[in-house]
Structure 1
């Protein structure tokens, strides 16, 4: 029985897939500002792209018009912001003393510390795979070429989310006799911002990218890569429709469930790290310290389940919150995500009144 349960858990945990938003191609030529206004009136906003999976889904929507430019929702602003190439949230920085003072935009690691460099410099670099493995690439490339190599052959340039990962990466580099040598990591900065104010750091520029003008469009016949153009050009465009919506009403978990099922589809399930990032993007809109998820304690089985019936495979619990309380039959514990800090999950009595996240998918 134990073996069967283990095999069932593995099977269920291997099939969940996350679709964060739906794309809608609009085959009408408008300038960027007009396209933005149209998308905000009809859908959510001009298209935001978080990762390569989003790129694939977006390109499916423009399949018949791949020979022309198509607006997306990225525009050039004045303020620089740091991002990870992979889209990981920026939770940790480890600059060498005096960094980053220059106008350069890409980052190397030297002896465990980070230094800003010109992206045109050629360095060796570290990729990572979704399984968590690090891959050293000894070829000398500029930062953008290294990013393309990692995305084509692995997942992306390496991210560093905390001090422990920084130490592990430093040891990985030292084990290859590269102590004191500059090695590209996935940290970069730019002035580009998504129309919906998403903090997505994903970029997919074409080789001809100039970074001179104000808005981004898909470049024809480049497998979805982007070019920059002045916003007065007239192009068709892609809107997106959000799958997650924060409802700023304070309801019990059962009331929140009823609301989502009547007005949308359901309370959100967070079955992957990608969906957690999407939750982190929207939960900042909440007015309560925690926000209900579609996560409930199944007391008789001593486990947590999503409303879909799926087991909790991806875990993001705050310490001490994942266990089943002794009096669970009386307390009816439900799961919520913290709207501030590291946005981990907490267990609360279902009678608490919180904001909540509905899904449209």
Structure 2
């Protein structure tokens, strides 16, 4: 071997050693990375569940969602030894299975005590399902049908399903006004009578509409004592475990503020990075499957087919990295993206997440104009 070949080989060995050290560092960092999706805020004011929900939506994002043990740990860092509201309640749904996209509750409604809904003067109220009311059915061919008989909610539902399609659903303000006029114009013995609609309370759901998959109930809970324990509190001295209680109790509570925000401006990757750092913290880093779920939820608000992440390719090191300094431990590339062949291109490339489909990551030239996601913490 000549001197030039020997020098070249030593240089190669040195570079390989440096890269090996770098990747060993990545492995070490990946093993300790955490994902905190939300910022929690303890509010030491006594409110009912509905009042607490309204407060959180005005001041922050919503009443606290706690959907992992990591969230529980973060929550317990700011509060201990007190019973408090979180954002889990038995959700309202339509008998027909239509999504609940619109609500028109009257003052101080729902009060959290009852499971079925009726309309009075265009506004909705909750009431025990065993009470007798007139009701409105929906029929695919005839439209709205007023039934001039008093039945409890379950019998009214059965009647509508047997003779028509189902109890009526209300999907928006226009339909609510049409239903109110229809009821007022229908012949009935008592003007202004309460009328069942197809809304009832059933399974658990978070106030921010997150899926209810993780639970941390105290032993024996939820037990729904008195059939009106429809809201959830973290129990005092229970290591963050939950109990179900009546929503009209007055308790302190915890709000959450989302860590992420979708910016509906079309900017290049570098412009998006500058915007996030000037107005928030940084372009988002996706370090775990939990954070990916958060991103998947948020990108639905985007107006472009993909959304910039804080993901960048280094031609010098031959790796993808997060601009916030975290390592790329978790990966969610779409097929054909993030590959070594693609990364050999001279074009400067950055990472984005698809706003539709499987919402996997894709590689794009950094000059493309896309919406983007900023991290707020």
Q: TM-score, normalised by structure 1?
A: 0.65
- Could you tell me which residue of structure 1 aligns to residue 104 of structure 2? none
* Alignment RMSD (CA, Å): 1.9
- Could you tell me which residue of structure 1 aligns to residue 204 of structure 2? 192
Matched ranges for 1:84-95 at <5 A:
none
Matched ranges for 1:63-78 at <5 A:
63=80, 66=81, 68-78=82-92
Aligned partner of 1:241 among 254, 257, 267: 257
Q: Higher mean Cα deviation, 227-236 or 28-37?
A: 227-236
**Post-superposition CA distance 1:125-174 (Å, at most 9, x none):** xxxxxxxxxxxxxxxxxxxxxxxxxxxxxxxxxxxxxxxxxxxxxxxxxx
| 3-state SS, counterpart of residue 284 of structure 1 | helix
**Post-superposition CA distance 1:93-151 (Å, at most 9, x none):** xxxxxxxxxxxxxxxxxxxxxxxxxxxxxxxxxxxxxxxxxxxxxxxxxxxxxxxxxxx
Deviation at 1:234, TM superposition (A): 0.6
> Given the superposition, is the C-alpha separation of residues 49 and 299 from structure 1 closer, same or farther in structure 2, using an over 3 Å criterion?
same
How many angstroms apart in 2 are the aligned matches of 1:8 and 1:42?
41
Consecutive unaligned residues in structure 2, runs of 5 or more: 1-16, 95-201
Contact kept, 8 Å, 1:267 with 1:356, in 2: the verdict is yes
- Aligned pair count reads 248
| 3-state SS, counterpart of residue 316 of structure 2 | helix
**Post-superposition CA distance 1:286-345 (Å, at most 9, x none):** 22221110001112222111102333221111111012536643x211100112222110
Aligned partner of 2:362 among 335, 346, 353: 346
Q: Higher mean Cα deviation, 230-239 or 282-291?
A: 282-291
**Post-superposition CA distance 1:211-266 (Å, at most 9, x none):** 44321111222211111222211111001111111112222111111111111000
Runs of 4+ with deviation above 4 angstroms: none
Matched ranges for 1:1-361 at <5 A:
1=17, 2-63=19-80, 66=81, 68-79=82-93, 191-206=203-218, 207-211=220-224, 212=227, 213-324=229-340, 325=342, 328-329=345-346, 331-361=347-377
**Post-superposition CA distance 1:37-75 (Å, at most 9, x none):** 111122211100120111111122112xx2x42110112
Q: Which has the larger radius of gyration?
A: 2
Q: TM-score, normalised by structure 2?
A: 0.62
